[in-house]
Amino acid sequence: MISKPSKTIRACLIIFFVVLNVFLGYIFFFTDMHDFVHAIKLGELRDYSAGWTDESGETVDIGDISAGGFRAGRVLSRTLPDVMSETDAVCLSTSNLVFSVYVDDQLIYSFDTIENLTGTGDGVSYHMIGLGTKDQGSTLRIEAHTAFTNGHGGRINEIQFGSEDQFRFYILRKGGMGVILSFLMIVFGIVIIIFFFGMSRKSPMIRPIWALGVADVLFGLWSVCDTGIPQLLTGCTYASRVMVYGILHLAGFPLVYFVNAITRNKRRLYVYLSFFTALFAFGWLILARVLFGTDMHTMVGVIYSSYALELVWLTAMLIDNEIYCRKKKISSNMRYFYIGALFFIAASSVDMIRYIVGEKGSIGRGSWFRFGLVLFFVFMAFQIFDWWSGEKTSLERDRFINRLLQYIMDVMEPDEKINKVLTYLCEELHADRAYIFEDMNDGTFDNTYEYCAEGVTPEIDNLKGIPYDGVIDVWYEEYKKGGHILIYDIEKYREVSENMYNVLKPQGINTLVTGPLILDGEYIGFFGVDNPPVENMREISEIIRLLTFFLSELIARRDNHRRLVEYSYHDALTGAGNRRAMREFERENLDTTRPYGFITCDINGLKSVNDNNGHDAGDKLIKTVASCLGEVFGPENIYRMGGDEFAVYSFDENLSEFEEKVARIRSMVEEEGGHVAIGYSYAHDGDPDYDSRKIEADNRMYDEKRKFYSAGNDRRRPRV
């Protein structure tokens, strides 16, 4: 069993929290955490790292200049594009770099680091330097040098050309998964802490779990800062840098304390070693900085050494515990924890090795660490559920959750996962129905998922457009107060809400338990079960509470999955279907028993447009052709097969109608200043051999294309 911590360890905990609170207070009150800006928009960027000229006249790629390459200062210049828009900007990600930007010798931007708790470095900073049409064709010059007095470090991580919003989205997309994983760690830790303080009776297994939550939150904060995204979204460059340098020391101790508390062989020695390792490393960094002015970037070895030692204590503690259990011939009951700890230790070691060998790049060095930590807490969750099974009896909530996870483990599709969850809820809780209602964002709610027990009439088709005002709003107010709703007697509930009673009563509902669906702090709907046994209502409400986050995440994954499916079948530039979409249409939906026509359309002179007017102009021409095709044949029948090639299916009753559309396309494109080669084939009575039709259309298109270029229209020369 888990023993009560000694007075010495309690003193260590008090000192630890004092140091932690002072440190966090500094971050929130004495750094740039208050400068919070957050904006995300879609777009495309151009990599702008190549084609620069240094002071010696040599052409260089900024991406090839390693950390420390700006030691003595560098001057880099290049010519801006001849065609620009008012939203164009040069967007940079830098690390520990002081620089100025000039356009034709006019200073338009400068950046110098601010001395902070860590030293003169700024870690990762993002800079979006606005330009405009007035700058097109001008010379852009960057003069830069490292922020450190010893000449070490300093680099441009990447440089892009496009709008500022496009750059923000690019960075978010690039590091989005790391941020999601990091926030999941933070959320998991907060949930654990809330769970701990919400327990009226804390069993021996529950008592040390707060330390796991604290460690998870701290590791999550370090991890999210390591992605560089907080610096982009909030501008809190120095707050993030301070956290990166300081949090890693503080996160190890609560984790070691928790592990020691749950092991069979409780060795206080490991807790003391961990505490003094964290205190010494953190204190050494602060004292060296405050008393001697030492820049913390020269003490990275201290950071990683302390973290490596924490891993050593953790590893030694687990080995020691396993040896003890084998000697005593008892079960450690920590198999999930061992697996998670193995992933965590291995992944952390990989990242430390990557840093020591000097792998290129300074952002996101903790990617393996982040992955390992998430796996650790995932396995830790399984371990907690496993422990729970020995202490909980009512409805065996641990068994219920574990079986639910296993029940849906073989399902990949989010929709199917949700349906399986509802099936499991309905059957295991002996309810009549399990369901989900979602906010339609128009003031109404729809029943989007439902599972009914045998003999129960489905209601999903009848429960659409339920109004928020006067009906659902009553439940939302209750959710905010208690987190869930229990109705023991529908007739008594009539006094609470007549309108909701009128919705529920016709469905034959007598008892009910529901809970909210919450995503990013916003209510997106609710789920629940109808007519569960009255004697199990309280236990069922706890299960509903536990599943709130889980089902909300499944809804979010479903939405992401639907977006990904949509993207996988459509061309990003034009919105037309892609090859995959056309193949599926031919295989599943093409009716070859009726007349149809097939068209292959290729844009003539696209290369000359790209070469002479730029790829933006080429993209505009492609979109114009796609728009013309969609207008004539319907956007659902258009497929982009390659860079400048489109395919079209048309369902016309006769050849003349089909050919009129083909002629119209030629005319429309030429009116827009373009030219297309079109080949087509028409099946008067239908034809199951659509591949032959496609070959015939291709041959005609290539004949027309040859005629176009044989008439003196060079692929590399614009038409006259």
**Average pLDDT in the 443-467 region?**
91
**Average pLDDT in the 638-647 region?**
89
Alpha-carbon distance of 221 to 236, in angstroms, equals 13
Q: What is the pLDDT of residue 229?
A: 82
**Average pLDDT in the 164-179 region?**
82
Asked whether the predicted pLDDT for residue 628 surpasses 50, the reply is yes
**Average pLDDT in the 235-240 region?**
82
Q: What is the pLDDT of residue 5?
A: 54
Q: What is the pLDDT of residue 152?
A: 78
Alpha-carbon distance of 49 to 44, in angstroms, equals 16
427 or 386: which leads in pLDDT: 427
Alpha-carbon distance of 215 to 221, in angstroms, equals 10
Reported as a pLDDT band with limits 50, 70 and 90, residue 355 is: low
Q: What tokens does 443 get?
A: 């003031």
Reported as a pLDDT band with limits 50, 70 and 90, residue 40 is: very low
Q: Which residues contact 174 (CB under 8 A, 6 or more apart)?
A: none
Asked whether the predicted pLDDT for residue 578 surpasses 70, the reply is yes
**In which order are the strands placed within the sheet that holds 124-130?**
46-47, 155-162, 89-95, 124-130
The verdict on pTM exceeding 0.75 is: no
Report the SS3 class of residue 43: coil
What mean pLDDT value characterizes the chain? Answer: 82
The domains found in the chain, sorted by start residue, are 7-30+176-391 (1.20.1070), 49-169 (2.60.120), 413-567 (3.30.450.40), 579-710 (3.30.70.270)
Asked whether the predicted pLDDT for residue 353 surpasses 80, the reply is no
Q: What is the pLDDT of residue 27?
A: 67
The torsion angles phi and psi of 70, rounded to 5 degrees, stand at: -105, 20
Reported as a pLDDT band with limits 50, 70 and 90, residue 187 is: confident
Reported as a pLDDT band with limits 50, 70 and 90, residue 71 is: confident
Contact (Cβ atoms closer than 8 angstroms) between residue 608 and residue 656: no
**Average pLDDT in the 615-630 region?**
90
Asked whether the predicted pLDDT for residue 34 surpasses 60, the reply is no
621 or 200: which leads in pLDDT: 621
Report the SS3 class of residue 585: helix
Alpha-carbon distance of 71 to 80, in angstroms, equals 26
Asked whether the predicted pLDDT for residue 369 surpasses 80, the reply is no
**Average pLDDT in the 705-718 region?**
66
Alpha-carbon distance of 304 to 311, in angstroms, equals 10
Q: What is the pLDDT of residue 712?
A: 64
Reported as a pLDDT band with limits 50, 70 and 90, residue 117 is: confident
**Average pLDDT in the 372-382 region?**
78
Asked whether the predicted pLDDT for residue 41 surpasses 50, the reply is no
Alpha-carbon distance of 129 to 592, in angstroms, equals 56
Question: Which of these, 74, 234, 225, 61, lies nearest to 159 by C-alpha position?
Answer: 61
Asked whether the predicted pLDDT for residue 156 surpasses 50, the reply is yes
Question: Which of these, 56, 108, 47, lies nearest to 77 by C-alpha position?
Answer: 56
Least confidently predicted of 179-188, 343-352, 494-503: 343-352
Report the SS3 class of residue 442: coil
**Average pLDDT in the 230-234 region?**
81
The torsion angles phi and psi of 113, rounded to 5 degrees, stand at: -75, 160
Asked whether the predicted pLDDT for residue 61 surpasses 60, the reply is yes
Asked whether the predicted pLDDT for residue 112 surpasses 70, the reply is yes
Question: Which of these, 196, 187, 109, lies nearest to 553 by C-alpha position?
Answer: 187
Asked whether the predicted pLDDT for residue 311 surpasses 70, the reply is yes
Least confidently predicted of 377-381, 577-581, 622-626: 377-381
Beta bridge partners of 683: 596
Q: What is the pLDDT of residue 106?
A: 93
Contact (Cβ atoms closer than 8 angstroms) between residue 625 and residue 646: yes
Reported as a pLDDT band with limits 50, 70 and 90, residue 205 is: low
Least confidently predicted of 169-173, 439-443, 469-473: 169-173
Asked whether the predicted pLDDT for residue 129 surpasses 90, the reply is yes
Q: Which residues contact 123 (CB under 8 A, 6 or more apart)?
A: 95, 96, 231, 237, 238, 240, 241, 244, 362
Asked whether the predicted pLDDT for residue 538 surpasses 70, the reply is yes
Least confidently predicted of 9-13, 436-440, 594-598: 9-13
Report the SS3 class of residue 494: coil
Q: What is the pLDDT of residue 101?
A: 95
Least confidently predicted of 406-415, 547-556, 565-574: 406-415
Q: What is the pLDDT of residue 595?
A: 92
Q: What is the pLDDT of residue 512?
A: 92
Q: Tell me: the pLDDT tens digits for 408-421?
A: 777 778 888 889 88
Q: What is the pLDDT of residue 37?
A: 35
Least confidently predicted of 340-344, 625-629, 696-700: 340-344
**Average pLDDT in the 516-523 region?**
88
Reported as a pLDDT band with limits 50, 70 and 90, residue 625 is: very high
Instruction: Give percent above pLDDT 90 in the chain.
Output: 21
pLDDT winner (highest mean) among 10-14, 70-74, 87-91, 293-297: 87-91
Alpha-carbon distance of 695 to 647, in angstroms, equals 12
Asked whether the predicted pLDDT for residue 136 surpasses 70, the reply is yes
Asked whether the predicted pLDDT for residue 672 surpasses 60, the reply is yes
Reported as a pLDDT band with limits 50, 70 and 90, residue 327 is: confident
Asked whether the predicted pLDDT for residue 450 surpasses 80, the reply is yes
Question: Which of these, 417, 544, 414, lies nearest to 479 by C-alpha position?
Answer: 544
Question: Which of these, 72, 131, 138, 58, lies nearest to 105 by C-alpha position?
Answer: 138
**Average pLDDT in the 348-366 region?**
62
Q: What is the pLDDT of residue 206?
A: 64
Question: Which of these, 570, 576, 578, 582, lies nearest to 691 by C-alpha position?
Answer: 582
